[in-house]
Amino acid sequence: MSERNGVAQPPPGVGLEQLRTAAAGCRACELWQDTTQAVFGEGPETARIVFVGEQPGDQEDRRGEPFVGPAGRLLDKALDEAGIDRAEAYVTNAVKHFGHVTKGKRRIHQTPGAEHLRACRPWLEAEFAVLQPEVVVALGATAAKSLISPSFRITREHGQLMPWSPPGAATPAEDDDEDAPHQTWILATTHPSAILRTPAEARDAAYGALVADLRVVAHALA
């Protein structure tokens, strides 16, 4: 079993492929019951940057890959404009199953609850433990609240690069050099799906803000 008491139990000391295989059998919350498959993160173990979204969508659930639907295509465009190669990044979600309600033939996204984030968090911690990224980008409010603070507000605090310790990692000592290799930074920005839902007259500005935030990340990695 990959879970106990409603919280995932990833196998310790393994790489991303072994974690992906184990996550396919996760039953830590009920979301698995009405989905095609778990959608684990994707990208090289050498990735310096990790993008964390909320959860897979309909197309991601069907294909088993993160950010391959309309929001993923918009993210790819923004990354290209910001000078970030997605092939060198790792892309994942805070929740690995597609939470939704079915209306006719359509599956409508439902924001994951605190219990889903809590159940799935060990998978994210395991990914961070393997990757040890330099920069983490929280895409959208759900990821930002989960990784930074429940009080975090994307509208006010997006685009700010902040020192951060991955969940489960040891906290650096106060006298440690903040530029030491162990230091990880985090930045939150708008989820691409929110831009797609933005009224047409404001969409270009919202997209421009996303690209500007991603350029902050590109500069930090330069």
Torsion of CA 188, 193, 199, 204, to 10 degrees: 60
CA distances in angstroms from 90 to 33, 41, 65, 136, listed in the order given: 27, 7, 12, 10
66 within 8 A of 72, measured Cβ to Cβ: yes
Q: What is the pLDDT of residues 95-130, one digit of tens each?
A: 999 988 888 888 888 889 899 999 999 999 999 999
Beta bridge partners of 104: none
Residue type, 109: H
0.95 exceeded by the pTM?
A: no
Beta bridge partners of 100: 109
**97, burial (CB in 10 Å: exposed 0-12, middle 13-18, buried 19+):** buried
Residue type, 58: D
Beta bridge partners of 92: 52
20 within 8 A of 65, measured Cβ to Cβ: no
CA distances in angstroms from 25 to 10, 39, 58, listed in the order given: 10, 11, 19
Residue 214's SS3 state is helix
The pLDDT mean for the chain works out to: 90
Q: What is the pLDDT of residues 133-189, one digit of tens each?
A: 999 999 999 999 999 999 999 989 999 999 999 875 555 555 555 545 568 999 999
| C-alpha to C-alpha distance for 92 and 23, rounded to whole angstroms | 13
47 pLDDT above the threshold of 50: yes
3-state helix, strand, coil in the chain (%, to 5): 40, 15, 40
